[in-house]
């Protein structure tokens, strides 16, 4: 066990193999209801959309609409992200999570910041700790490609020996941005609004790239890799390895999302739910862990520029002169992010709690 105290530098991966899991990681029984059902649709093939095929685009938009209205979730194939790049990004994760505890501690993210290493959020929470280690960094959509800000982050913060890791993630984030802007066009088409609306809104956005490493766990039925939540962000592009563990809550039950090669999972987040005036649901999901098997996921969270006002397009709130009731107040991503980092642990009702907080904290 690491010499440092459990609460500040706990790393699940340093647990002795034969040890029961510490009470901080044991979740309430009601959060641990198991499931054997699967949710694997809609699976949207983007090839026709990328080729500009009108009928294929309309069909993809219809599939996407059904998935987003029901459970804020869909999956994509032929997404244009090079498989070798995904494999390389996954391989680079191992070099990060195999670092020594002391190096991990030196990369530990600062309170209130999202960037850097976190072991089970043990610096932020003292119960219901998620059984995972994370490494998160920023990707600015607005930065010029030649700026290589991700490469700089790895070179200057993580260490010169991680230059290759930085180059791989620089390319991965650029590919994620490109896919996200295409998906925003398809989302706009599915909502019947100007195809460029959301793409323009996010072009100068800023995203969070997060690598999740879920160590094998001796008592997987007592804990969770990531607890039940809706991503407070706008759109999530998730790559999970072939181990399995992602679950979506839909039709009043938890359903596992079977990993498939060359497939990316797309979740609607709270901010996009507000941008669609509630037409699309923020996806309630969680991640399970396994005995004897570790698991990895790479999650790209898309956000608008921090100070941009988040509100639905006029066409969604004023349809042929009929005023549609606004579901959420105007807010900025900066405010919502700050709420989740300083006041509230994101869960299944973050947006509702945030709106209440916003309206009762006028300052």
Q: How many CB atoms lie within 10 A of CB 13?
A: 18
Please state, in angstroms and as integers, the Cα–Cα distance from residue 189 to each residue in 67, 71, 186, 218, following that order: 14, 18, 5, 46
| Binding segment toward Fe ion, per CB under 5 A, in 21-29, 103-111, 227-235, 344-352 | 227-235
Question: Per the structure block, which two tokens stand in for 348?
Answer: 């299944």
The residue count for binding ligand L2PXNNRO (CB under 6 A) is: 14
Q: Which of 175, 346, 351, 355 binds ligand L2PXNNRO (CB under 6 A)?
A: 346
By CB under 6 A, is residue 340 in contact with ligand AKG? no
By CB under 6 A, is residue 340 in contact with ligand L2PXNNRO? yes
Provide the 8-state DSSP code for 38.
Answer: B
Residue for token pair 């072939």:
242
Binds 130: which of Fe ion, ligand AKG, ligand L2PXNNRO, none (CB < 5-8 Å by kind): ligand L2PXNNRO
Nearest-approach distance from CB 347 to ligand AKG, in angstroms: 12
Nearest to 177 by CA among 204, 153, 196, 212: 204
By CB under 6 A, is residue 133 in contact with ligand AKG? no
Question: Per the structure block, which two tokens stand in for 38?
Answer: 């699967």
Please answer whether residues 227 and 288 qualify as being in contact, where contact means their C-beta atoms are separated by less than 8 angstroms. no
260 catalytic? Reply is no
Question: 285 by DSSP, 3-state: which?
Answer: strand
Residues 309-338 that bind ligand L2PXNNRO (CB under 6 A): 337
Nearest to 288 by CA among 131, 134, 93: 131
Nearest-approach distance from CB 21 to ligand AKG, in angstroms: 18
Active-site choice (210, 295, 296, 345): 295
Q: Which of 21, 150, 198, 231 binds ligand AKG (CB under 6 A)?
A: 231
Residue count of the chain, please give it: 363
φ/ψ (deg, to 5) at 272: -75, -30
Binds 287: which of ligand L2PXNNRO, Fe ion, ligand AKG, none (CB < 5-8 Å by kind): ligand AKG
**Chain-centre distance of CA 24, in angstroms?**
24
Q: How far apart are CA 59 and CA 73, in angstroms?
A: 16
Nearest-approach distance from CB 51 to ligand L2PXNNRO, in angstroms: 32
- Residues of this chain that interact with ligand AKG (CB under 6 A) are 210, 212, 226, 231, 238, 240, 245-246, 285, 287, 297, 299
Question: Annotated catalytic sites, by residue?
Answer: 295
- Residues of this chain that interact with Fe ion (CB under 5 A) are 231
């Amino acid at each position: 066990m690491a010499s440092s105290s459990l609460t500040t530098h706990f790393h699940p991966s340093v647990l002795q193999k034969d040890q029961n899991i510490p009470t901080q990681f044991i979740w309430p029984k009601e959060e641990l209801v198991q499931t054997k059902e699967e949710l694997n649709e809609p699976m949207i093939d983007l090839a026709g959309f990328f080729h500009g095929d009108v009928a294929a685009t309309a069909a993809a938009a219809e599939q996407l609409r059904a998935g987003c209205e029901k459970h804020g979730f869909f999956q994509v194939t032929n997404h244009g992200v090079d498989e070798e790049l995904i494999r390389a990004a996954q391989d680079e994760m191992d070099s990060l999570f195999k670092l020594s505890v002391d190096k991990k501690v030196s990369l530990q993210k600062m309170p209130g910041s999202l960037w850097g290493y976190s072991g089970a959020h043990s610096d932020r929470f003292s119960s219901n700790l998620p059984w995972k280690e994370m490494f998160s960094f920023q990707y600015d959509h607005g930065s010029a490609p030649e700026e290589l800000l991700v490469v700089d982050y790895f070179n200057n913060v993580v260490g010169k020996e991680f230059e290759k890791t930085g180059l791989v993630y620089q390319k991965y984030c650029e590919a994620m941005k490109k896919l996200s802007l295409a998906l925003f066009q398809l989302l706009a088409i599915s909502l019947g609004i100007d195809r460029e609306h959301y793409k323009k809104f996010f072009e100068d956005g800023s995203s969070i790239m997060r690598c999740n490493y879920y160590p094998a766990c001796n008592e997987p039925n007592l804990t969770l890799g990531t607890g039940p939540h809706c991503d407070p962000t706008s759109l999530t592009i998730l790559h999970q390895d072939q181990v399995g563990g992602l679950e979506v809550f839909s039709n009043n039950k938890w359903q596992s999302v079977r990993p498939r090669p060359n497939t990316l999972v797309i979740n609607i987040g709270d901010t996009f739910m507000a941008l669609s005036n509630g037409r699309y649901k923020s996806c309630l999901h969680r991640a399970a862990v396994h005995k004897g098997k570790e698991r990895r996921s790479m999650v790209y969270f898309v956000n608008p520029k921090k100070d941009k006002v988040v509100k639905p397009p006029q066409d969604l709130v004023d349809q042929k002169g009929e005023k549609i009731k606004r579901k959420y107040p105007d807010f900025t991503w900066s405010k919502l992010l700050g709420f989740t980092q300083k006041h509230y642990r994101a869960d299944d009702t973050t947006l509702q709690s945030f709106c209440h907080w916003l309206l009762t904290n006028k300052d």
